[in-house]
A and B are shown apart, each in its own frame.
Chain A
Amino acid sequence: MTSPIIVVDDVRKRFGETQALDGVSLSVDQGTVLGLLGPNGAGKTTTVRVLATLLKPDSGSASVAGYDVNKQADEVRSVIGLTGQYAAVDEKLTGHENLWMVGRLLGMSKADAHQRAGELLERFSLSDAGDRQVRTYSGGMRRRVDLAVSLVGRPRVLFLDEPTTGLDPASRLELWDIARELVADGTTVLLTTQYLEEADELADRIVVIDRGTVVAEGTADELKDRTRGRVLQVEISDRNRLEEARDVLTRMAPPEGVHVDVATRSVFVPVGTDTALAANAISILSSTGIDIADFTLERPSLDDVFLELTGNSPSPSDDEEVAK
């Protein structure tokens, strides 16, 4: 039986003219990953900053591990780790010094802080670079040491704020592996990301946020299903019979949305969640003697979901100006 470890209830935050958060509510169960998705300026980072006690909300309440982010900020800080866009490491300190310093600030003895720094460097394959200044690190190494620093105090809740923005594919996969291992060990993760693929890969549940409010939530599959559902693509061998194929398929339910793409000699049929309908369509086409070259039943990507929910494509830019 799991219970929510992060609870956000009707949180509002205004920066001047911008209503950054307009009544955000969400909850995250212990030991799970919540993906927070939204276009730039939607309020993702503002939400994380409120939860990490970096920003006081104008109204509403939020708690982490049962501690109120306003009234028990220090207790919240003692159970969280923050990494990504905003919480940086010190470039002029070595990797080891960064880890040691945070250990000391968390109340470890000098020896314990050294030991913890050493084991984290080893776990993150940074042992060889541990005594070099962070400014000499590659992008992937920086992100790893940044994550390592946020794990010094063994946080129960980890905020990953766009953790792989700007990383090469190999480093990204590596970071995903670490995130999965953390969750397997019982850490709760709140992930904000620009990459829908990342949310799809890591998140147990996804909350889509736009203009400071939650517009949808569910598992990746639920979100995909609840929008357009699946689309059947049928490729016809004979280009001249495309129109005929469309007429056949249009006579089946549902009639809207059936369309033809001449370039790929394909007919697209939205079938929703009804896979039987797709099978039916194929057999009807076959029985009319139209030769089918290929067919696929595709789920919409999260990108499609995103577009439909927010009317916005996710942008690759990583700044969320209102949070600054």
Chain B
Amino acid sequence: MTDVLAPSAGPTLRRPRGLLAMAHDGWIITWRNLVQLPRTPELVLFTLIQPVMFVLLFNYVFGGSIGQALPKGLSYGQFLIPGIMVQTIVFGTSATAVGLADDLQKGIVDRFRSLPIARSAVLSGRIVADAFRLLMVAVVLVLVGFAVGFRFEGGIALGLLMIVVAVVFGFAMSWVEANIGLRVKDPETANTAGFIWLFPLTFVSSVFVPVYSMPGWLQVVARNNPVTLVANLLRSLSLGETLPGTTWFDQALPVALWCIGIVAVFAPMAVNRYRKV
């Protein structure tokens, strides 16, 4: 047996290359981030408590009055759950910024950057692990929703598709948050900077109230907010029917374009930033 501390005579390890290396290294970092989840119970707990709290608050506090403004036959619970799902998932992406800022501050990113691994691995590993977390949150939310009258009216397949769409949007938004995490000095700043702008983004939308209940000028903003487009698509998927006067294609296309657009802009930006930290 060779000495434990002896240096190698030459580069002996064969590492995968190209796309395979990106997948291999990204997956190991994903593993590392997922293993941490159950060891950070406070993160899991608060990520789960928040949507439950919102569902209960909105359903029982605002449900009575907002329910009046809804089209006939649509219960507030049915209206609320898809909206809360987008909101929770979008809020949940701020953990991407915090996680990256934390790794940067603790020097773990320097460890990874000193290893001969794919440059994208730290980012993709973080974001894929976060997508798993978002998926978990979405599932819990649906379960809570069942308790307040939410149903997959359009069947289980569309219901599952609803969860998938929500997580894909969360994945796209995580790339925006990654840029924040890589540009701030510490996790505390990342927590604030990653979170604060999500309030107007999610509240000026159809998440909690119908857009037509807002002042005219705000309706313009709300209607074009990607969060509204996603909330409407999730609602349609949960009901099994499209908005009046539209087709599935009309509703899905802008959501797909937004997701692709966000990733196309913010992923290269994040990778570029990562190379320079």
Interface residues of A (CB under 8 A from B): 52-54, 74-75, 77-80, 82, 85-93, 97, 101-102, 104-108, 119-120, 122-123, 133, 149, 151, 153-156, 178, 181-182, 185-187
Residue in B closest to A80 when the chains form the complex, CB atoms:
B114
Cβ of B35 and Cβ of A151 under 8 Å apart? no
Pairs A–B under 8 Å by Cβ, sample size 8:
A54-B110, A82-B114, A86-B110, A88-B106, A88-B107, A105-B112, A153-B13, A185-B3
Contacting residues, chain B, for A149 (C-beta < 8 A):
111
Task: Bits for B92-116, please: 1 = Cβ < 8 Å to A, else 0.
Answer: 0000000000000011101111111
Closest-by-CB residue of A relative to B185 is A324
Flag if B107 contacts A87 (CB, 8 Å).
yes
Tell me which residues from 96 to 154 in chain B have a Cβ below 8 Å from any Cβ of chain A: 106-108, 110-117, 121
Within 8 Å CB of B115, what residues of A?
77, 102, 105-106, 153
CB of B221, distance to nearest CB on chain A (Å): 39
**Bound-state Cα–Cα, A119 to B39, Å:** 26
Complex CA–CA separation, A178 to B107 (angstroms): 23
Q: CA–CA, A151 to B12, complex, Å? A: 14
| Closest B residue to A185 using CB positions | B6
A82: chain B residues within 8 A (beta carbon) = 110-111, 114
Contacts of A104 in B (CB 8 A): 28
A153 pairs with B107, CB closer than 8 A: no
Q: Give A5 Cβ to nearest chain B Cβ, in Å.
A: 11
- Identify B15's interface contact among A89, A101, A107, CB under 8 A: A107
A187→B7 CA distance, assembly (Å): 6
Nearest-CB distance from A156 to chain B (Å)?
Answer: 5
Considering the chains assembled together, what is the distance between the CA atoms of A119 and B5 in angstroms?
10
Residue of B nearest to A106 (CB): B13
Contact with B13, one of A85, A108, A187 (Cβ below 8 angstroms):
A108
Give bound CA distance, A306 to B269, whole Å. Answer: 44
Instruction: Give B3-24 as 1s and 0s: 1 = Cβ < 8 Å from A's Cβ atoms.
Output: 1111110011111100000000
**8 Å CB contacts to A: which residues of B33-57?**
35-36, 39-40
* CA gap between A97 and B7 in the complex, in Å: 22
Q: Is B25 positioned at the interface, with any CB of A under 8 Å from its CB? A: yes
Question: Given the complex of chains A and B, what is the CA–CA distance between A182 and B6 in angstroms?
Answer: 7
Whether the Cβ atoms of A151 and B5 lie closer than 8 Å is yes
Q: Is B273 an interface residue (CB 8 A)?
A: no
Are B7 and A155 in contact, with the CB atoms below 8 A? yes
The answer to whether A52 and B114 touch across the interface, beta carbons within 8 angstroms, is yes
If A105-B28, A107-B13 touch, whether A185 touches B5 (CB-CB below 8 Å) is: yes
The smallest C-beta distance from A64 to any residue of chain B, in angstroms, reads 11
**Complex Cα gap A74–B116 (Å):** 5
Q: Which of A88, A90, A91 contacts B110 (CB 8 A)?
A: A88
A54 cross-chain contacts in B, Cβ below 8 A: 110, 113-114
The A interface is mostly helix, strand or loop, or mixed, namely loop
Residues of B within 8 A of A106 (CB): 13, 15, 115-116
Chain B residues positioned under 8 Å from A122 (CB to CB):
4
CA distance A41 to B223 in the complex (A): 53
Q: Is the CB of B15 within 8 A of A53?
A: no
The residues of B that contact A154 with a CB separation of less than 8 Å are: 6-8, 12
Chain A minimum-CB-distance residue to B1: A119
Q: Report the minimal beta-carbon distance from A45 to chain B, rounded to whole angstroms.
A: 11
The reply to whether A86 and B7 form a contact with Cβ atoms under 8 Å apart is no
Measured between beta carbons, the chain B residues less than 8 angstroms from A156 are 7-8
Which residues of the other chain, A, contact B11 by a CB distance below 8 angstroms?
Answer: 75, 78-79
What CA separation (Å) do A187 and B114 show in the bound complex?
A: 18
Closest chain B residue to A112, Cβ basis:
B13
Contact between chains at A186 and B6 (CB < 8 Å)? yes
Rounded to whole Å, the gap between the CB of A158 and the closest CB of chain B is 8
Kindly state the separation between the CA atoms of A111 and B4 in the bound complex, as whole angstroms.
16
A107 — nearest CB in chain B belongs to which residue? Answer: B15
Question: Shortest CB–CB separation between residue B222 and chain A, in angstroms?
Answer: 40
Assembly CA distance A207 to B8 (angstroms): 27
Closest to A73 in B: B116
CA distance A107 to B20 in the complex (A): 12
Query: CA–CA, A80 to B149, complex, Å?
Result: 59
Give, as a whole number of angstroms, the nearest-CB distance from A77 to chain B. 4
Q: What A residues does B25 contact at CB under 8 A?
A: 105
Give the nearest-CB partner of A103 in chain B.
Answer: B13
Q: For A105, give its contact among B4, B12, B14, B117 (CB under 8 Å).
A: B117
Whether the pair B32, A101 counts as a contact (CB closer than 8 A) is yes
Which residues of chain A are within 8 angstroms of B114 by Cβ–Cβ distance?
52-54, 77, 80, 82, 87
Q: Is the CB of A88 within 8 A of B111?
A: yes
Is the pair B28, A186 in contact by a Cβ cutoff of 8 Å?
Answer: no
Instruction: List A contacts of B16 (CB < 8 A).
Output: 107
- Chain B residues, CB < 8 A from A105: 25, 28, 112, 115, 117, 121
Cα(A187)–Cα(B3), bound, Å:
12
* CB neighbours of B28 from chain A (8 A): 101, 104-105
Q: How far is the CA of A156 from the CA of B11 in the complex (A)?
A: 10
Which of A79, A92, A181, A187 makes the CB contact (< 8 A) with B40? A92
Tell me which residues across on chain B come within 8 A of A123, comparing CB atoms: 4-5
Closest A residue to B276 by beta carbon equals: A56
A154 to B28 alpha-carbon distance, docked (Å):
20
Interface string of B71-107 (1 = CB under 8 A from A): 0000000000000000000000000000000000011
What CA separation (Å) do A151 and B8 show in the bound complex? 10
Q: What is the CA–CA distance of A166 and B185 in the complex, to the nearest angstrom?
A: 24
Nearest Cβ in chain B — how far from A2, in angstroms?
15
Closest to A31 in B: B7
Interfacial chain B residues near A101, Cβ < 8 Å: 28, 31-32
